[in-house]
């Protein structure tokens, strides 16, 4: 007899297994992938696994608790990986492809490895590495504690010294190093990047590495100065393609025939994150003036990320050449979906290779291009590994290789979203989704939660959201949408709120609220509003512009754009995204600040924030809390420790993530009640 399905709970977070980064072997027979699951004492265990493409049970390949980023050697005989096993500094290790014990290739001091790439001939590996500041190593801390010394000050000489989720790196920057696989000899190839966000790729002959880089002090403010340089591996000498258009450049990729370079970028002074579309560019490095954009006939943005709380959210563009160098496979976010498209090198309309209401995230191809690995997740299923044949004229049917959460999917009920469109007063249509409580036929007059996404330049859509499912399981209707400012609807839709938050975005949210009030499934007197990051911003804004919600939850929020201008990890440039600046021309920032309307706040509010948030400093929440208390608004402030960051709801310790979910559910239950209709 089949086991009866039960509602999903916050505690089920620890049951979710997350595969990622599938890599097909060069011969196309085996797929390697990382697999993360909850470990003892709130740890996350990551191993490498493999599965044959013709079926069979996935098998574990490594025994370390922090083994990831597995990559096949070009001949398929061995696998390189990054391992931080036993709490030691991360190192690159080599594992025989047929199995066995891995061996350390590097013995680097304490620091951070940010990925690596094999040379096409298999003799070298290039990798990004940043050494830890000597005063902040684990050994230095141990010696201070033994001597009774105080924690040292952080001495800073650059505007770019911290990054949320990465911590305080002060003046340290990632450098590009190359290691000889046979001898283990390491040398530095590029150490002049001023930010540490550079991308790189090997030429097919393994003689040259292309690098996108911004040099100079405070380079974080000079994205238009991004260079594409060619570095001769043998000598370290570099040449700048100084004839390329000015603007940010990232994810540089060399064509297999060695004649072309592709990258994601745009012209202008913004970084890769912005309201204009991030586009696909190519050039022939040997031909001056050959640069051209091959996606500008579309309205797609290569940075249209779809948010979720289980899979990694990747804001970086995904670009890879086909083996014949005639086309590129690119991930495109559009209307809540994420699909793979083929862009012909000669131009023209792209060809979609996937479709459907889910998230398709491409990884790599076999040598002959007959196998492409893809990660797929959907609103009712966490991500799994798939493969497809992406070649023209072939059947693009996706084949599933893993079912990492089969038991959870078999025993839990999941809400499936229904898509709707709300219409704003100016005629703008806002794509909106509703999750109805699972197991209840034709729900009527239920409590409802309006979720607002972060970014703001991202999108909600067809990804798996454990948090949403937990709320629907309580009997509440969950509504989420993509108001103006979201990605996935073209440049003008996204650009509509640049320099003026709380304008067209609020018009659209207002339309969604009015739509909710008319729905037969929703009790308009028992509606809640919540969101994180920019979603917290819009929650704060809504509290100052309507009293229609029974309660609010503002999570890792933005409240005062003036104070945030100088304390976020990304400092606001004068007359950049917002006109003016945050010292003597703060008018635009202040006009868009929700705290300006705190005198109107009456909605009972739960405030959630992490003390380690370097993106939206916790003082943003403290201002909200102070105003709520002074105004005697029922409120509760939950501060998570400094060890957590802005993105902790997606990747923090499981016990704290579960605690957060219960705080949310308890607050909602207190003010909008259970799913049962009140008498």
- Residue 14: per-residue pLDDT: 96
Q: How far is CA 333 from CA 14, 250, 328, 525, in A?
A: 29, 18, 16, 35
Question: Residue 313 — pLDDT band, cuts 50, 70, 90?
Answer: confident
- Contact of 125 with 108, CB cutoff 8 Å: no
- Res. 177: pLDDT tops 90: yes
The answer for residues whose C-beta is within 8 angstroms of residue 271's C-beta and 6 or more apart is 223, 248
Question: Residue 675 — pLDDT band, cuts 50, 70, 90?
Answer: low
Query: β-strand 327-334 against 319-321: which pairing, if any?
Result: antiparallel
Q: What proportion of the chain, given as a percentage, has pLDDT over 90?
A: 94
Question: Residue 100 — pLDDT band, cuts 50, 70, 90?
Answer: confident
Using a CB cutoff of 8 Å and minimum separation of 24, what contacts does 110-114 make? 110/137, 110/138, 110/139, 112/166, 112/174, 113/82, 114/174
Partnered with residue 608 across adjacent β-strands are: 555, 638
Query: For residue 398, what are its two tokens?
Result: 């996706």
Cis peptide before 456 (omega within 30 of 0): yes
Structural domains in the chain, sorted by start: 420-672 (3.40.50.1820)
- Residue 443: per-residue pLDDT: 86
Lowest mean pLDDT among 87-91, 486-490, 518-522: 87-91
Query: Which residue, among 52, 50, 45, 75, has the nearest Cα to 61 in the 3D structure?
Result: 50
- Contact of 324 with 368, CB cutoff 8 Å: no
pLDDT in tens, 12-38: 999 999 999 999 999 999 999 999 999
DSSP, residue by residue, 583-618: SS--HHHHHT-GGGGGGG--S-EEEEEETT-SSS-T
Rg of the chain (C-alpha set): 25
What pTM was computed for the model? 0.96
pLDDT in tens, 363-393: 999 999 999 999 999 999 999 999 999 999 9
- Residue 540: per-residue pLDDT: 98
- Res. 677: pLDDT tops 80: no
- Res. 164: pLDDT tops 60: yes
Burial 587-623, CB ≥16 within 10 A → b, else e: ebbeebbbbbbbeebebbbbbbbbebbbbbbbbbbeb
Q: Give the pLDDT mean for 490-507.
A: 98
- Contact of 174 with 130, CB cutoff 8 Å: yes
What are phi and psi for residue 380, nearest 5 degrees? -115, 15
Question: Residue 310 — pLDDT band, cuts 50, 70, 90?
Answer: confident
- Res. 1: pLDDT tops 50: no
Question: Residue 312 — pLDDT band, cuts 50, 70, 90?
Answer: confident
Q: What integer best gives the mean pLDDT of the chain?
A: 96
- Residue 678: per-residue pLDDT: 41
HEC profile for 54-107?
CCCCCEECCCCCEEEEEEECCCCCEEEEEECHHHCCCEEEEEECCCCCCEECCC
Question: Residue 56 — pLDDT band, cuts 50, 70, 90?
Answer: confident
pLDDT in tens, 71-85: 999 999 999 999 998
- Res. 563: pLDDT tops 80: yes
CB atoms within 10 A of CB 396: 17
* Dist CA 562 CA 587 (whole Å): 9
- Residue 2: per-residue pLDDT: 56
- Residue 82: per-residue pLDDT: 98
Question: Sheet of 59-60: strands edge to edge?
Answer: 18-24, 30-38, 44-52, 59-60
- Res. 357: pLDDT tops 60: yes
- Res. 284: pLDDT tops 80: yes
Q: Which is more confidently placed, 315 or 506?
A: 506
- Residue 676: per-residue pLDDT: 56
Question: Residue 679 — pLDDT band, cuts 50, 70, 90?
Answer: very low
* Dist CA 241 CA 245 (whole Å): 10
* Dist CA 608 CA 117 (whole Å): 39
* Dist CA 540 CA 249 (whole Å): 35
pLDDT in tens, 629-667: 999 999 999 999 999 999 999 989 999 999 999 999 999
């Amino acid at each position: 007899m089949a086991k009866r399905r039960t509602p999903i709970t916050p505690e089920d977070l620890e049951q979710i297994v997350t595969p990622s980064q599938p890599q097909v072997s060069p011969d196309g027979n085996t797929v390697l992938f990382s697999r993360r699951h909850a470990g003892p004492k709130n740890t996350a265990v990551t191993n490498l696994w493999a599965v044959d493409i013709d079926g069979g049970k996935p098998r574990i390949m490594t025994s370390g608790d922090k083994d990831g980023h597995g990559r096949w050697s070009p001949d398929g005989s061995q696998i390189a990986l990054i391992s931080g096993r036993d709490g030691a500094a991360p190192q690159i290790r080599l594992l025989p492809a047929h199995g066995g014990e891995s061996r350390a290739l590097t013995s680097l001091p304490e620091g951070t490895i940010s990925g690596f790439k094999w040379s096409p001939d298999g003799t070298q590996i290039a990798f990004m590495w940043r050494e830890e500041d000597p005063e902040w190593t684990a050994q230095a801390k141990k010696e201070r504690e033994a001597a009774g010394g105080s924690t040292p000050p952080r001495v800073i000489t650059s505007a770019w010294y911290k990054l949320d989720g990465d911590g305080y790196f002060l003046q340290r920057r990632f450098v590009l190093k190359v290691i000889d696989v046979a001898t283990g000899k390491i040398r530095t190839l590029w150490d002049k990047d001023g930010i540490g966000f550079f991308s790189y790729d090997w030429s097919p002959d393994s003689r040259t590495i292309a690098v996108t880089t911004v040099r100079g002090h405070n380079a974080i403010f000079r994205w238009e100065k991004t260079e594409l340089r060619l570095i001769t591996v043998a000598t370290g000498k570099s040449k700048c393609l100084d004839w390329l258009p000015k603007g940010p450049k990232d994810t540089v990729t060399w064509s297999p025939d060695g004649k072309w370079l592709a990258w994601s970028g745009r012209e202008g002074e913004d970084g890769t994150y912005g309201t204009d579309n991030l586009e696909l560019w190519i050039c022939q490095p040997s031909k001056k003036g050959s640069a051209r954009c091959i996606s500008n006939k579309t309205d797609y943005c290569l940075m249209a990320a779809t948010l979720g709380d289980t899979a990694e959210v990747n804001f970086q563009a995904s670009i890879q050449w086909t083996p014949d160098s005639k086309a590129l496979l690119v991930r495109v976010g559009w209307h809540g979906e994420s699909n793979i498209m083929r862009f012909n090198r000669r131009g023209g309309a792209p060809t979609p290779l996937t479709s459907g209401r889910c998230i398709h995230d491409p990884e790599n191809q076999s040598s002959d291009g007959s196998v492409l690995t893809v990660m797929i997740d959907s609103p009712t299923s966490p991500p799994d590994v798939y493969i497809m044949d992406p070649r023209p004229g072939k059947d693009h049917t996706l084949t599933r290789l893993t079912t990492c959460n089969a038991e959870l999917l078999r025993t839990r009920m999941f809400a499936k979203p229904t898509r709707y469109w709300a219409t704003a007063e100016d005629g703008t249509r806002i794509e909106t989704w509703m999750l109805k409580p699972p197991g209840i036929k034709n729900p009527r007059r239920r409590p409802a939660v309006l979720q607002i996404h972060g970014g703001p330049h991202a999108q909600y859509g067809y990804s798996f959201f454990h948090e949403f499912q937990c709320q629907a399981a309580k009997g509440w209707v969950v509504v989420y949408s993509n108001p103006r400012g979201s990605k996935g609807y073209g440049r003008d839709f996204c650009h509509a709120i640049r320099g003026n938050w709380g304008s067209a975005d609020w018009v659209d949210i207002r339309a969604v609220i009015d739509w909710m009030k008319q729905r037969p499934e929703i009790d308009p007197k028992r509606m809640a509003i919540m969101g994180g990051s920019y979603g917290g911003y819009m929650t704060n804004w809504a509290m100052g512009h309507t009293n229609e919600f029974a309660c609010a939850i503002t999570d890792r929020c933005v409240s005062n754009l003036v104070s945030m201008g100088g304390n976020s990890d990304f400092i606001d440039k004068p007359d950049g995204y917002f006109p003016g600046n945050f010292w003597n021309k703060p008018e635009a920032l202040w006009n868009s600040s929700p705290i300006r309307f705190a005198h109107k706040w009456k909605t009972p509010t739960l405030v959630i924030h992490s003390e380690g948030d370097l993106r939206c400093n916790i003082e943003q929440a403290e201002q909200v809390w102070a105003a709520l208390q002074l105004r005697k608004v029922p409120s509760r402030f939950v501060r998570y420790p400094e060890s957590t960051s802005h993105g902790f709801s997606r990747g923090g310790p499981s016990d704290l993530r579960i605690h957060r979910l219960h705080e949310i559910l308890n607050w909602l239950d207190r003010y909008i009640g259970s799913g049962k209709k009140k008498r």
